[in-house]
């Protein structure tokens, strides 16, 4: 049972120094270490008394009777909320690396996200998690119909985030007679040159009609009042784009790109093999459980979310801290950047690098 106590500025300073020392050493902290390494301007006895107050408040505890003290999750919470600010220097370094090493013009969005994840894990020393963006706000940039072989056409779609999707359409009457009848048009002239001209004409029409529309809109478009020259394509277009919309529907969660597992294996918190196996299973096989913790809640007000230890509902990460922030498109959260590490984390740096990455990716999507 913890005691409700009033914490003075001195108590906060002792708590700050204790946590900083523990983060650096991973060893329980005694009053002597604080006197020698931090300018607290008080006697060891005063520090011991202060640490006793913090222990009674549930902010520090002793792992063994003869040992020094280490922070509790509640102690880290006060440290994060009241005693530190994100490192501007670290944020600037992260932004500089992202801008120098990632090629926004010639890479797909997934490649950019994967590269950002790798940069952040190397920079922070922790596991990085980046969710792929939800496609609900993804808009069409370019569409093209291509003849692949007799009876087969491929629809190639490029989104505004430069992701590419393709769909193979089988128009062979032998394979899908009902579809051929429903289309009401012969897209398979024997002359290949005529077919390619017809597909190019239709591709131009699709781009004129659909560029800038979201994928989620495709299945509800009204094709009943087309220009006369395209009226015969009405049923074909409806089926084509409904299928594309259906295949592009976002599931409840999107894939999470993970980097930096090797970065944490040397830390004492990850020295137990079974613990590491459980964590790896969560990261690799059960991402749908992790996704709600990292994906942003549109109603949340804080820019960065920090879940410390037992604040995480999933048992495999209850000894960890998860720092996350949303990246946005048109001011709408579409994905998240997160860092997962031990509760003994350099919070000033972790929060700074997550904020910087979220800002960079939001800028990239704009």
Structural domains present in the chain: 7-81 (1.10.10.10), 86-133+252-363 (3.30.450.40), 137-170+186-247 (3.30.390.60)
Neighbours of 329 (CB within 10 A): 20
- Whole-angstrom distance, CA of residue 143 vs CA of residue 127: 37
* Backbone CA torsion sign across 118, 123, 126, 130: negative
**Which pLDDT tens digit goes with each residue over 176-198?**
434 434 444 455 556 777 778 88
Decide the pairing of beta strands 305-308 and 256-259.
unpaired
pLDDT score at 304: 94
Q: Say whether 15 sits in a helix, a strand or coil.
A: helix
- Whole-angstrom distance, CA of residue 22 vs CA of residue 71: 8
pLDDT score at 182: 41
Between 231 and 255, the more confident residue is 255
pLDDT score at 4: 65
pLDDT score at 118: 95
pLDDT score at 357: 96
Query: Is 27 a residue whose pLDDT tops 50?
Result: yes
Q: Which residues contact 99 (CB under 8 A, 6 or more apart)?
A: 360
CA dihedral 69, 72, 75, 80 (to 10 degrees): 120
Between 197 and 330, the more confident residue is 197
Q: How confident is the model at residue 300 (pLDDT cuts 50, 70, 90)?
A: low
DSSP, residue by residue, 211-252: TT-BGGGGGG---TT--GGGGGGHHHHHHHHHHHHHHT---S
């Amino acid at each position: 049972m913890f005691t409700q106590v009033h914490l003075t500025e001195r108590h906060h300073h002792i708590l700050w120094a204790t946590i900083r020392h523990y983060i650096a050493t991973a060893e329980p902290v005694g009053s002597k270490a604080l006197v020698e390494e931090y300018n607290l301007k008080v006697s060891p006895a005063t520090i011991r008394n202060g640490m006793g107050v913090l222990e009674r408040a549930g902010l520090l505890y002793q792992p063994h009777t003869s040992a020094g003290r280490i922070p509790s999750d509640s102690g880290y919470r006060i440290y994060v909320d009241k005693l530190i600010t994100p490192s501007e220097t670290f944020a600037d370094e992260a932004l500089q690396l992202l801008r120098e090493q990632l090629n926004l013009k010639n890479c797909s969005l997934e490649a950019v996200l994967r590269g950002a994840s790798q940069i952040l894990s190397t920079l922070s020393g922790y596991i990085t998690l980046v969710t792929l963006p939800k496609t609900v706000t993804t808009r069409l940039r370019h569409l093209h119909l291509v003849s692949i072989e007799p009876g087969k056409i491929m629809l190639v779609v490029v989104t505004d985030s430069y992701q590419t999707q393709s769909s193979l359409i089988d128009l062979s009457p032998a394979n899908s007679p009902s579809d051929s009848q429903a289309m009401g048009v012969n897209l398979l002239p024997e002359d290949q040159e005529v077919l390619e001209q017809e597909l190019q004409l239709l591709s131009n029409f699709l781009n004129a009609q659909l560029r800038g529309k979201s994928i989620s809109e495709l299945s509800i478009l009204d094709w009943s009042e087309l220009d006369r020259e395209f009226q015969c394509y009405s049923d074909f277009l409806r089926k084509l784009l409904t299928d594309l919309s259906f295949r592009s529907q976002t599931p409840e969660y999107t894939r999470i790109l993970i980097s930096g597992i090797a970065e944490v294996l040397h830390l004492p918190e990850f020295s137990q093999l079974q613990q590491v196996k459980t964590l790896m299973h969560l990261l690799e096989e059960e991402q749908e459980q992790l996704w709600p913790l990292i994906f942003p809640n549109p109603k949340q007000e804080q820019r960065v979310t920090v879940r410390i230890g037992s604040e995480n509902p999933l048992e495999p990460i209850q000894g960890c801290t998860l720092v996350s922030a949303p990246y946005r498109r048109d001011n709408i959260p579409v994905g998240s950047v997160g860092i997962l590490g031990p509760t003994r984390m350099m919070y000033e740096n972790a929060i700074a690098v997550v904020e910087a990455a979220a800002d960079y990716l939001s800028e990239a999507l704009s």
